[in-house]
Amino acid sequence: MKLRRFKILKENILGQEAVLDEPQEIRHLTKVLRLKPGDPVILFDGEGKEYEAQIAGVQSRRVFFRLLKNPRQGASESSLKILLGIGLLKSTKLDWLVQKATELGVNEILPFYSLRVVPRPEELAAQNRWTRWEKIAAEAAKQCGRAKIPKIHPACSFSEVLSAFPEAKKIFLWENEPESTLAEALRVPAPVLFSLVGPEGGFSEEEANQAWKAGFAPVRLGPRTLRAETAGLVIVALLQYLCGDLR
């Protein structure tokens, strides 16, 4: 029988006991799945650890668990650390990309503003989107068996994204790059890869030059022009295939 998985806050794990107090998760456990005391489950803390547990008690606002074994590192994490910078997209497109990139094993996602970004939400709206992306990533991690939830950064400026993650090997997708392919850019393997994907309008010439000067290698993804959300998904999958756990 497939064990059901539930995200639990790290601070709610106390010795060999744990408490779930998130209303949506409790509703799913009790009303949808109809689990009851004695049923086995898997708990994960979102930081990479998971626990085999048994439901010990159910209340309207809390579910109590007994941990059956010591925590273990989730087996679904890639040895490759993938960081994805993505130009802000229209709401549903970026929601979709956050979900699928999480399923493919991305570690961190950094949305950014650039010259050709179409949506320009006010600060409050951007904060609401960030909260939504965190929930989407958590649900996707739960569904695909990951014990670690990707970190979703608040949206930043283009200059800020260029200076992020100095330890990573850096590439950026550039439709006007005539020759350089991803395989060529990754001839020397690296444990941490940071890929920039432009918004729906792509990068301007000036932004491409700024990225190059900041140490990002330009890469083309074949002869076809991909939508931004497609390019974001493709680059994560290709990085996992070339350097990660999809080989």
Co-location of 141 and 47 in the same domain: no
Domain range for 126: 81-243
Co-location of 227 and 107 in the same domain: yes
Co-location of 172 and 239 in the same domain: yes
Co-location of 85 and 169 in the same domain: yes
CATH number of 174's domain: 3.40.1280.10
- Beta-sheet pairing, 63-67 with 5-7: unpaired
Mean pLDDT within 143-169: 94
Q: Report how many domains make up the chain.
A: 2
Residue 182 bridge partners (DSSP): none
Mean pLDDT within 224-235: 94
Mean pLDDT within 107-132: 76
Co-location of 185 and 86 in the same domain: yes
Distance in Å from the first CA to the final CA of the chain? 29
Among the listed residues 223, 213, 233, 215, the one whose alpha carbon sits nearest the alpha carbon of residue 89: 233
Co-location of 102 and 186 in the same domain: yes
Model confidence at 188, in pLDDT bands (50, 70, 90)? Answer: confident
| pTM of the model as a whole | 0.89
